[in-house]
Amino acid sequence: MYSITSSTVRKTTNYGATAWAALPSSPGTGLRNINTATTDPLVLGVTRNGGNVTITTNGGTTWTNYPIGSFPNTAGGFNYIWFDTTDATTVYVASAFPDITKNHLWKKVGAGAWTAIDAGGFPTGIPIHVIQNDPLNANTLLIGTDFGVYRSTDGGSTWARYGQGMPLMAVRDLYIAPDSSFVRAGSFGRGVWELVAGATLNVAITAPAAAVTLVKGGTQSYTANVTNQVSSTTVNWTVAVGGGTFLPTSTTNGAPTTVFTAGTTANTFLIKATAAEDLSNNTFATQNVTVVDPTSVNVVVSPAAPTVISGATQGFTAAVTPITNTAVTWGISPAVGSINPTTGLYTAPATPPASAQSVTVTATSTAAPTRTGTATVTVPVLTISVSPTTANVPLATQKQFTATVTGSTNTSVTWSVFSGGGSVNASGLYTPPATTGSAVVRATSVADPTKFADAAVTIVTAPISVTISPASVSVIPSGSQQFTVNIQNWTSTSAVIWSVVEGASGGSVNGTGLYTAPSGTGTFHVKVTSVEDNTKSDTATVNVQNPVTITITPTVAYIAPGASATFVGHPSTGGTNYSVVGGAANGTITSGGVYTAPATEGDYQVKAQAQADNSKFALADVHVHPIVVTVTPPTATVQVNTTQQFNASLTGNPNTAVTWTVQEGAAGGSVDSTGLYTAPAAAGTYHVRATSVADGTKFGVATVSVTSAPAISVSVSPAAVTVSPLGNQTFTATVTGGPVGVTWSVEEAGAGSITAGGVYTAPVALGTYHVRATSTTDPSKFGRATVTVVSPITSFSISPATATILLDPTPGTVVLTGAVNTGAINWAVSGGSLSASTGTSVTFTPSTIGTFTVTATASADASQFRTATINVKTRNLDGAGGVDVLDLAKLAADYGKTGATATLPADLNGDGVVDDADITIFLAGF
């Protein structure tokens, strides 16, 4: 940190904990402000009275002074110096001198001259108290002035007010957050303000189109919206020269509309809305406006030539180009019908014209009233017609006539009998009189009563009708069927003639209509014809087929009241109709054969009837009785882990099979397929269930009370014992209150082992251990014995501990002796041979070279043993042939080597070194 007095700059590097030290030299007198360069701790500068700026680049050893004459257009008053935080050679100096004719902010880059940078949108002559750059962008500068905060984003070339919502007031100091997220401005008497970064002044224009086209002198309204302003939403409207005028020329967000009036020059012009708050005029929005001559405006009406009947409407549209204002005014000529002047909807006259009319529809441009477009509407006359125009109507019948009206939306007609007899109703249905003759039926237009159409009617007598019954029938081969005939309107005779259309192959029919089928199957036709008018006849269809059979499955069913069962009919041909014998009281059945039993217990029948011959059917017996499952014994009490046999009986169904389960699941025990229940280990009340296989919803239940078993106790004998290491001890377990089975274990790790029969083997390690016998029935119950492992051996040694002998020319020997305080000594060796396996002294004789271990074990404690190491050597050092000078060569090479004798073959005396003594031994047998 640095501090200044009137002529001295002092520095502390420990926050003033010790005395501040003056820099090596003084920059001069009248110090006003000091600042340092972020990127170079040796660079700092001061402002001084008299318009001096003094900078050192070597930590104050020497200083360079820039007098007032170094700064263009200044009156001095330098009160702030700032080094670019990314470049120590870029320096800013601010002046608060109250002279509006002077500059107040300068910048110096490297060795360049001081340049004033308080222009480009900055109010001229305003005192500046502080300048800093954005830590993240050195080209973004913030200055505190008597008129608020200004910001430059281009290193000082242009400036704009900064700080949305901050009043216009004097700012004396600034703090910019290291991450540039906010700025704090210390005001002169109005507190500290925090300005949030990121809000940029913006202007947006609202217009009917992105680019407006007007005729000369045409007008267009515009609005502008200013956002992120500091204090003003005012915009100033301007347009390129010759383009037109704005009224008013300024708007705000609260009074947003200005009207632009195009000039008299056809061209494209740029209009601009500039934010007044940005004195640099760099914040604006623009839009193009094109001015055209009215003669270039075209109006096209669509549709161009429609026909509109009386009472109908027709909508028209007008396409106006190229101007933005496409509004038109609609009119017609002559005044036949009417048109909406705004929407262009044309309505034809309600009364049809006597002759077809042609009407011109005109659309006139609102913006260019001299420009129009037209369409032609045709209004047709009304026409009417009747169908049929002629008709023969038999006596006692009726005839329907229809009328068609065109040229009007009102197509209603009035029906009448213009001449002759009979009557006609409002819908055109004509009824003839009782006698033959002629008549005229007329339809008159309601829309135009002068327009009508007629139909000529001839009333004639009724024709003979012949009807055979039945019209269709099935008959078995050689079977018969009686047909009847109904003949109407006969005048001379009602006699008829019966025949088979297919001839004799289709069977025969007699004069009374009795038909006899042929012996074969097939489809044939019986015809009956009027004798009076043989053009009148009727025909019946006969289907000759074999007899139908049918069966049903199942033939017997057992279900509970209210339950369902499905039956299937199997007809020889065709489908099946199902029914319940005796009606719904005995149950119901669907067309698909699903029978539902009644609530009443009983025996019923289901019928399957052949559709091809409903005389054929099959019956199924349905026994409706409830299934009852009974479990015995219904209750039982058993101990945990024991069994209980249950039995089940079932009535109401011949299938008496049941499935056994325990209601509580595995926690309640288990039951096998024969009903043998095994109680769980936990006492409680459980339920054994036998469920009908025939009906899984029917079951019987037995309740089982499972009681706890008597407490099990386990004891071990002997309860305490002393054993030698690796010694054995047999234990026995006694179990009371349960099965005698136990599991033997040793409680401590490494404390020996025990067999399933209770034979314990002590470990080598001495100590006190415990043997445990655990009940196999209740693992929580066990007994234990204490085992103390002690050794009887207190003194035990053998000699020698090591020895080295030669195998050649004759094998050497080693006599080993041992002493132990109790018991015998057992001897063993890893190679060679011993003269005895027990005793206090044995002789070792080798059979080959090598290192051998003789082990002496105390018979009283097998864990106690001592060892002796015997090295057996040979002078045949190269392992080839006998002992010769080549072996001597080996010895010569190994001479002087030391180490474990087992690794030194030439160390013949085993003293760990190959030396002259080994040579002597070698040569002695050479």
Partner 1 sequence: MTTMSSRNPMTTTTQIKWTLSCLTLLSLVACSGSNNNTNNPPPVKTIADRLDYTNPTSGTYTLVKDTALSTSTHLVLNLMGPVGTQGTGVGFYLTADTTKVTWAKVSGGDAEYVKNGAFTLGSGTQLLKSKITTNQLQGGVFQKGTTAPAVTFTATGPLASVALDLKSNVSLGAVTFSSIAGQAVLTNGSAAPAPIVISYGSLAAN
**Chain residues in the site for partner 1 (CB under 8 A):** 878, 884-886, 888-897, 914, 916, 919-920, 923, 926
CB of 889 to partner 1, least distance (A): 4
- Closer residue to partner 1 (CB): 710 or 882: 882
CB of 924 to partner 1, least distance (A): 10
For residue 222, how many other CB atoms are within 10 A of its CB? 23
Q: Burial letters for 712-745: b for 16+ Cβ neighbours within 10 Å, e otherwise?
A: bebebeeeebebbbbbebebebebeebeeebebe
- Closer residue to partner 1 (CB): 621 or 911: 911
CB of 879 to partner 1, least distance (A): 12
CB of 812 to partner 1, least distance (A): 21
- Closer residue to partner 1 (CB): 497 or 900: 900
Label residue 377 left, alpha or beta by phi (over 0 means left) and psi (-120 to 50 means alpha): beta
Rounded CA separation 685/703 (Å): 7
- Closer residue to partner 1 (CB): 565 or 908: 908
Rounded CA separation 865/828 (Å): 11
- Closer residue to partner 1 (CB): 412 or 920: 920
The closest alpha carbon to 446, from 338, 348, 352, belongs to 352
Cis omega (within 30 of 0) for bond into 561: no
Rounded CA separation 707/396 (Å): 101
CB of 804 to partner 1, least distance (A): 19
- Closer residue to partner 1 (CB): 683 or 892: 892
CB of 892 to partner 1, least distance (A): 4
Q: Burial letters for 63-82: b for 16+ Cβ neighbours within 10 Å, e otherwise?
A: beebeeebbeebebbbbbbb
Rounded CA separation 771/196 (Å): 81
Query: CB–CB of 574/553 below 8 Å?
Result: no
Rounded CA separation 136/119 (Å): 24
- Copy the structure tokens of residue 801: 């501990």
CB of 893 to partner 1, least distance (A): 5
What does the DSSP 8-state code read for residue 666?
G
- As a whole number of Å, the end-to-end CA separation of the chain is 97
- Copy the structure tokens of residue 579: 């029914």
For 810, what's the count of Cα atoms within 13 Å in the CB-facing half-sphere?
A: 1
- Closer residue to partner 1 (CB): 179 or 916: 916
CB of 897 to partner 1, least distance (A): 7
CB of 809 to partner 1, least distance (A): 14
Label residue 565 left, alpha or beta by phi (over 0 means left) and psi (-120 to 50 means alpha): beta
The closest alpha carbon to 157, from 102, 113, 118, 200, belongs to 118
- Closer residue to partner 1 (CB): 21 or 924: 924
What does the DSSP 8-state code read for residue 356?
-
- Closer residue to partner 1 (CB): 606 or 914: 914
Query: CB–CB of 395/422 below 8 Å?
Result: no
User: Taken in order 97, 103, 105, 107, is the CA torsion positive or negative?
Assistant: negative
- Closer residue to partner 1 (CB): 173 or 911: 911
Q: How many residues in total does the chain contain?
A: 926
CA distances from 169 to 160, 231, 914 (A): 15, 12, 106
- Closer residue to partner 1 (CB): 442 or 873: 873
- Closer residue to partner 1 (CB): 27 or 905: 905
Rounded CA separation 141/152 (Å): 5
The label of the residue with tokens 């829309």 reads 447
Label residue 51 left, alpha or beta by phi (over 0 means left) and psi (-120 to 50 means alpha): left
CB of 898 to partner 1, least distance (A): 11
- Closer residue to partner 1 (CB): 161 or 875: 875
CB of 894 to partner 1, least distance (A): 7
For residue 138, how many other CB atoms are within 10 A of its CB? 14
CB of 922 to partner 1, least distance (A): 9
* Element holding 750 (H helix, E strand): none
CB of 811 to partner 1, least distance (A): 23
DSSP string over 401-430: -EEEEESBS---EEEEEEEES-EE-TT-EE
CB of 914 to partner 1, least distance (A): 7
CA distances from 773 to 494, 756, 777, 870 (A): 120, 10, 12, 48
- Copy the structure tokens of residue 716: 């071990």
CB of 910 to partner 1, least distance (A): 18
Identity of residue 180: S
- Closer residue to partner 1 (CB): 725 or 905: 905
Rounded CA separation 308/376 (Å): 10
- Closer residue to partner 1 (CB): 440 or 886: 886
- Closer residue to partner 1 (CB): 748 or 894: 894
CB of 907 to partner 1, least distance (A): 13
